[in-house]
Amino acid sequence: MPGFELFGNSERKELQDVLDNGVLMRYGFDGMRNGHWKAKALESELQKAFQVNHAQLVSSGTAAVSVALASVGVGAGDEVIMPTFTFVASFEAILMLGAIPVLVDIDDTLTLDPNAVEAEITNKTKAVMVVQMCGSMGDMDALQSICNKHGLLLIEDACQAIGGTYKNKPLGSIGDLGCFSFDFVKTITCGEGGAVITNNEQYHTHADHYSDHGHDHIGNDRGAETHPFMGYNFRISELHAAVGLAQIKRLPEFLSIQKKNFTIIREALSGIPEVTFRTVPEGGEENYGFLNFYLPDLETSRTVASKFKAEGVDACFHYYDNNWHYVRKWQHLSEQKSLFPLPVQVKQGLEQLKGKTFPASDHYIARNLSCLIKLSWSEADVKARADKMVQIIKSCI
């Protein structure tokens, strides 16, 4: 991770096809295309890769979450349970629909704690969104059981975990809908892009129409298409889809490299008694895009993170002090700093964040370091990196 590290001839070929064709929009202009439909081809590849019946490309991972939620009817005043550890896009996508993000604690999987989820369910709860952060998953059986018990939708934000599996099912294919991001720093990149996947035909139809102004996409005359309901513009372009089409075919290659590099570093750190690793639920296999480990306490983690940075061990994140990925620094959310007036239901719903603490999440995030696994490293690079990490950690404990 990320896929841009290994751009090559296949990406160039797909892009050149689009430029030669001259049609950059994914819809319409049938006569000019000469049979080239990059977005459609990528959607077909996504369906095969993730063993689902439907895939809908959109403009970003954030758009994917909003489109997924809108497709199942989440809207004004509905509550969506989400984790304290994620990217800000998670709550942005919920707020955009006039729905209310309800933040709950994580556990040692670094994803939703099922007990914390159940404790926050109200008569306004419509969906539970598990975010498969840093390449791995939560206890999907427990979360699905809770959703079934309470009649809730289970949405998978698998933006950082493409290629991971749970009990032989690809992440993203387990819940009612799954969401992916293909931005510049993801394992599979389009530059900018995302996707919604599902086995539910109605949800897919909704996603297809909603993401393109409500167009029904029936027939081959775009101007004659009808609009069964209102939508917005979350389209991907053919240029972006072309890059993704080349990249998705290389996913097994990327995952193999990530696993090899991940394993070398993990085995090196395993020799340090004070280092423990995130829990991967039984039956799960992460995508190896990040190596996540715990140190004894906050002070040690901060010191190690600082020394990593000073000594050139890059892309190792201590999210406890991160502005974008952990609830501690989301004052703009808790203080409701918006360019426009928020709906009354949202304002009231966000009041619960003021002064609220998340001690269980703090316990895990304070001690966690999350290290990106790059595709471009040579084996010598990885071993040298592992040795340096071990030396630094031992000097701080």
Q: Residue 375: helix, strand or coil by DSSP?
A: coil
Residues 53-82 pLDDT 10s? 999 999 999 999 999 999 999 999 999 999
Can you tell me which residue has the tokens 């570093």?
Answer: 265
Question: Is a pLDDT exceeding 90 seen at residue 1?
Answer: no
Whether 252-396 and 3-250 are alike in CATH topology: the answer is no
Is the Cβ–Cβ distance between 303 and 396 less than 8 Å?
yes
CATH number of 3-250: 3.40.640.10
Q: Residue 392: helix, strand or coil by DSSP?
A: helix
Q: Residue 260: helix, strand or coil by DSSP?
A: helix
Q: Which of 82, 84, 81 is nearest to 362 (CA)?
A: 84
Cα distances (Å, whole numbers) of residue 271 to 154, 289, 303, 311 = 38, 21, 20, 21
Count CB-CB contacts under 10 A for residue 204.
Answer: 20
Q: pLDDT value at position 142?
A: 98
Domain ranges of the chain: 3-250, 252-396
Q: pLDDT value at position 190?
A: 98
Q: How confident is the model at residue 304 (pLDDT cuts 50, 70, 90)?
A: very high
> Active site residue: 48, 149, 169, 186, which one?
186
Respond yes or no: is residue 124 known to be catalytic.
no
Residues 230-264 pLDDT 10s? 999 999 999 999 999 999 999 999 999 999 999 99
* DSSP secondary structure, 300-369, as one string: HHHHHHHHHHHTT--SEE-GGG-TTTBGGG-HHHHTT--SSPPPHHHHHHHGGGTT---HHHHHHHTTEE
Q: Is 0.85 surpassed by the pTM of this model?
A: yes
CA triple 259-38-40, angle to 5 deg: 95
Superfamily the domain 252-396 falls into? Aspartate Aminotransferase, domain 1 (3.90.1150.10)
